[in-house]
Structures are given as structure tokens and as C-alpha cells.
Amino acid sequence: MDNKQVIIFDTTLRDGEQALQQSLTSKQKLQIALCLEQLGVDVIEAGFPISSPEDLNSVREIALNVKNSTICGLSRALDKDIEACYEAFKGIDHYRIHTFIATSDIHVKDKLKKDFDDIVNMAVHAVKKARSYTDDVEFSCEDAGRTPIDHLCRMVENAISAGATTINIPDTVGYTLPYEFGGIIKTLFNRVPNIDKAVISVHCHNDLGMATANSLSAVLEGARQIECTVNGLGERAGNTSLEEVVMTMKLREEYMHGVYTKIVSENIARASQVVSGITNEPVPSHKAIVGSNAFAHSSGIHQDGVLKNKSTYEILTPQSVGFKENNMHMTARSGRHMIKAVLEKLGYREGSYNLDDVYARFLKLADRKGQVFDYDLEALLFFSHQDELDTQFELDNLSVLSGGKNIIPTATVRLKIGKRTRTDSGTGNGPVDAVFNCISRLTGIKLNLDNFQISAKGSGMNAQGQVDVDVIYEGRHYHGKGLSTDVIESSALALISACNSIYRAKLINEKQDKN
């Protein structure tokens, strides 16, 4: 390894998992670990083996199945913890034991109720014990960000002398500022005589939103391992987000002194979606690099700029992190250029429609609907009256039986279909599935559900559940939205709205075929 490579140590399965309401199953953890391996992560912290027999087995399972990343287990500076790590890794060729103890005054005195001298002795003992099992030992000074610098230097020197090959400096409570945290790393390099015998690592939390900046500041001062998680998952406000540090080092290489990582950046989007899906932790739409809005353009000025040259408002290409393409949201803020460009992409040449007329009606529709999709725009070309954009399918009545041990979820749905009314009843895996099955039979539209998302709108007694569905029908994507105080009703409304868009697209196809 040359001195420009920054090791990416992923702790999604340990620090990230600590933040979840429910722990992950071994199978889910293995799925994430295999995805991290494909991402090119150097070290995967797979768990904390002493915490439970399931965790120990899951660390072992991951170590047995992952071939291209080093697997690491966490332990306090206690014999039984280190032995549990050894148990998890028995027979494995190469693995890392990561042992830690707190070093800040508040943790040493109030949490551990010890003297700093005792802490140093415990750390040295733990590192030596871990080294008796493996030659890859990491030692962390928990709460290093708030540890008096003399204590920190002394601890680091002793841990390295005892055999630690990686020294991790965590900003456990996300308290420091970038200049300050970088300064701590700089001081360690200046004052610890044996510092060149270990890789210096950082582990930052995001309590003040500084985790990415602090980690990069440390790299500029010589740190060569960053501990991070996919989507920034982690205790409280989370950990340093893997995608942010990796893409910053890649994009701003010249300012980052030419450092690099071995991450396959094109696999980032997939890793983000896998982690979010398995952990049930949605990625905020505005999240840097992986949020759904990270490559979306909404304002007319921005859309116009991006149509002329993507780099006007895009510093990274969506493809560089594995997304297919940027997203132009058509809203009331979109300009005529944008509408023209979308129609062109759909195959409508300028001159075959009246842009002034379509744009005026697009604005009215955008005011009413919020976001307009390509098929809505196409419908504007084919239907001259706004009313014709309205519904073919309308929910007239919905009742659902669910819950309880021996009850099979059953739904009855009555739809207005054009001028008629039809009813269907049936079962499903759950209440929403039962409702969807009925709607599919009533509309005659068999679609694939690509994405289903529930979000709360408003709070307290007035809260409503919004359901957004993305569906695929004959290779084209459609979106539907439903809002109600009852999420099952929201789900039905969302699917019906997608069916209405599909119905209109089918009418357009028929009209096109006739012409």
C-alpha cells in the first residue's frame, strides 16, 4: 500500500446497526457485507461478537463468505471480548480485532471510574492479547476528540508499542471542528515518536454535521483510514458517510494531496439502496451523493443551464456513482426549454405541436398536481381539455379486514370506471396487497410495483399518510400519489392514480396507431 491510499473501513454493520430500532438478521448482514465487498471496501466491521451469540455467529458467517475485504470484530479492552472475537474468527486466514477504551476525562472518571494510568494499562494488555491472536490489531481511544492532548499522545504511543497496527482517533460525540480535529492528528504526528509504525485512522460522528469535513481534515494531516458508513447511518446523528468522503477525495484530488481510495464508485448507488432497503432507513431526498434529489433539477434557470451544459449545475455525473441519469423535475418552476427538451426526448419534433399552448396548459397542470411526469406532458398534446386529463378510475368504496392471528387480509374495493361502477373482493399477503390485487383485477392493468413509500404529512391529529408508488407497465415507469389519514386508503389512491396515467398512455398509443 502506498502512502496516498486511504483505507475505507466500513462500520455500517456495527455502528450503523447500533442506530436501528431493530437488529438485523444474520442473512441481512451477510447481504450487506457482500454488497460492501463489491463496493471495494477495505475493512468491514461486521459486529461486536461479545454482544450476543447471534452477533458472534453473524461475524463468523461474514468472515467465511467475504473474500476480498478484511473482516473486523469489535471488542472492549476486556479479555472476554477479545476471546469472543477470536472465537468468531477461528480458522480464518486474515482478520482484524478492534479493541477500544475511552480516554477522555469525563469517560475515564464518570463512566469507567478509573485513573488514566489504569486505562493505559488496560489498553496495553488488550492490544497484547489481541496481537496473540492476529497481527492485524486496531486500537481506538474512545472520545479522543475531547481527550487532553497529553493523555492522547501517551495512549497512542503505548498502544503502538504494545503492537497496535492501526490507531483510531474517534470524535465519538461529533464535537470537534474541522480545523481542530485536523490539529489533533497533526499534533499526534509531531509528538508521538513511534507514530510511523501504525496507520492512523479517524472515526467521526455527525452531531454538528462535521463528520465528513473532520474526516477529510484529518486525511490532510496524515490519517490514512476513514471509518464510515453507507448513507451516514450510525449512532445519534450518524457517522461519516462513505459516499461523501469517497467522492470528495475523488473529485477534489488536487486539494486532497492526491489521496485515493479503492472504492468502485459506480457501485455506490446500489450500496445505498441495499442498505436503506434492508435497514428500513429511508435516505433523505436531499442527502448528498445518494439522495433522490442529488441529481435532480427543479428551477427553470437550473434546468436551462443543465440542458445547455450539465456542468453548470452538476459537479459529479449521476453515472459516476451508479445512477442512470439526472432527473429533471417538471414543476411550475420549469421553463419552456425544459418542456421542449422532454417532448423532444419523447419523439415530438418542434413544430408538430404548439409550444405556447402546451406550456400554458403544463403550468396549469403543474399548479394542480405539483410534479408533472413525461406521460402527463404527452397527454397534454393529445387531449385539448384539462378535464380529459381527469380520471377514468375513481375510488368509490374501500373496506379492509386485517390484523389478528387467524385473519387472512381481505379487501373489498368499489371503483367508478368511466360511467359504470364495479366491485371486487379478494385476499393478499397483507391488507395493501389485498387492495392492490382488487384494483389490478378491476382496472385490468397488471403492473409491476417498483417502489412503495409511505411518509407522514403534518403532525399529531392532523397527520396524513402519503403513499408514493412507482410502477412499471410495459417497460415504462409511472408514478402515483395518494394522501389520506388512512394509509391503506392512501395506498389505494396512489395505485389508482398510476392506473389513470397508464390508461391515458394507452389511449395515446391507440391514437398514435390510428394516425
Interface residues with ligand KIV (CB under 6 A)?
Answer: 15, 100, 140, 142, 168, 170, 172, 203, 205
- Those residues whose C-beta lies under 8 Å from the C-beta of residue 430, and which sit 6 or more positions away, are 402, 409
CA-CA-CA-CA torsion sign (103, 105, 106, 111) = positive
Residue 37 CB coordination number (10 Å): 18
Placement of cell 399477503 in the chain? 429
Residue 255, phi then psi, degrees to nearest 5: -80, -15
Q: Which three-class secondary structure state does DSSP give residue 246? A: helix
Residue 224 contact, options Zn ion, ligand KIV, none, Cβ 5-8 Å cut-off depending on partner type: none
Is the separation of the CB atoms in 75 and 49 below 8 Å?
yes
Residue 159 CB coordination number (10 Å): 29
Task: For residues 293 and 123, give the distance between their C-alpha atoms in angstroms, rounded to a whole number.
Answer: 45
Residue 275, phi then psi, degrees to nearest 5: -65, -45
Residue 465 contact, options Zn ion, ligand KIV, none, Cβ 5-8 Å cut-off depending on partner type: none
Residue 129 contact, options Zn ion, ligand KIV, none, Cβ 5-8 Å cut-off depending on partner type: none
**Whole-number minimum distance, CB 279 to ligand KIV, in Å?**
17
**Whole-number minimum distance, CB 74 to ligand KIV, in Å?**
6
Task: Rank residues 15 and 61 by Cβ distance to Zn ion and give the closer one.
Answer: 15
**Whole-number minimum distance, CB 41 to Zn ion, in Å?**
17
**Burial profile 388-421: b = 16 or more Cβ within 10 angstroms, e = fewer:** ebebbbebeebebebeeeeeebbbbbbbebeeee
**Whole-number minimum distance, CB 421 to ligand KIV, in Å?**
59
- Give residues in contact with Zn ion (CB under 5 A): 15
Residue 392 contact, options Zn ion, ligand KIV, none, Cβ 5-8 Å cut-off depending on partner type: none
**Whole-number minimum distance, CB 160 to ligand KIV, in Å?**
17
Task: Rank residues 178 and 305 by Cβ distance to ligand KIV and give the closer one.
Answer: 178
99 Rama class: left (phi>0) / alpha (psi -120 to 50) / beta: beta
**Whole-number minimum distance, CB 235 to Zn ion, in Å?**
6
230 Rama class: left (phi>0) / alpha (psi -120 to 50) / beta: beta
Q: Which amino acid, one-letter code, is at 193?
A: P
**Whole-number minimum distance, CB 144 to Zn ion, in Å?**
11
Residue 100 contact, options ligand KIV, Zn ion, none, Cβ 5-8 Å cut-off depending on partner type: ligand KIV
Inter-axis angle of helices 53-65 and 26-39, to 10 degrees?
Answer: 40
Task: Rank residues 205 and 479 by Cβ distance to ligand KIV and give the closer one.
Answer: 205
Task: For residues 292 and 285, give the distance between their C-alpha atoms in angstroms, rounded to a whole number.
Answer: 5
**Whole-number minimum distance, CB 122 to ligand KIV, in Å?**
15
Residue 478 contact, options Zn ion, ligand KIV, none, Cβ 5-8 Å cut-off depending on partner type: none
Task: Rank residues 129 and 205 by Cβ distance to ligand KIV and give the closer one.
Answer: 205
Task: Rank residues 74 and 294 by Cβ distance to ligand KIV and give the closer one.
Answer: 74
Task: Rank residues 58 and 140 by Cβ distance to ligand KIV and give the closer one.
Answer: 140
The H-assigned helical ranges of 410-486 are: 431-443
Residue 140 contact, options ligand KIV, Zn ion, none, Cβ 5-8 Å cut-off depending on partner type: ligand KIV
Task: Rank residues 108 and 471 by Cβ distance to ligand KIV and give the closer one.
Answer: 108
Inter-axis angle of helices 355-369 and 336-345, to 10 degrees?
Answer: 100
Task: Rank residues 81 and 378 by Cβ distance to ligand KIV and give the closer one.
Answer: 81
Task: Rank residues 203 and 504 by Cβ distance to ligand KIV and give the closer one.
Answer: 203
CA 250 to chain centre: 19
**Whole-number minimum distance, CB 209 to ligand KIV, in Å?**
16
Residue 497 contact, options ligand KIV, Zn ion, none, Cβ 5-8 Å cut-off depending on partner type: none
Residue 436 contact, options ligand KIV, Zn ion, none, Cβ 5-8 Å cut-off depending on partner type: none
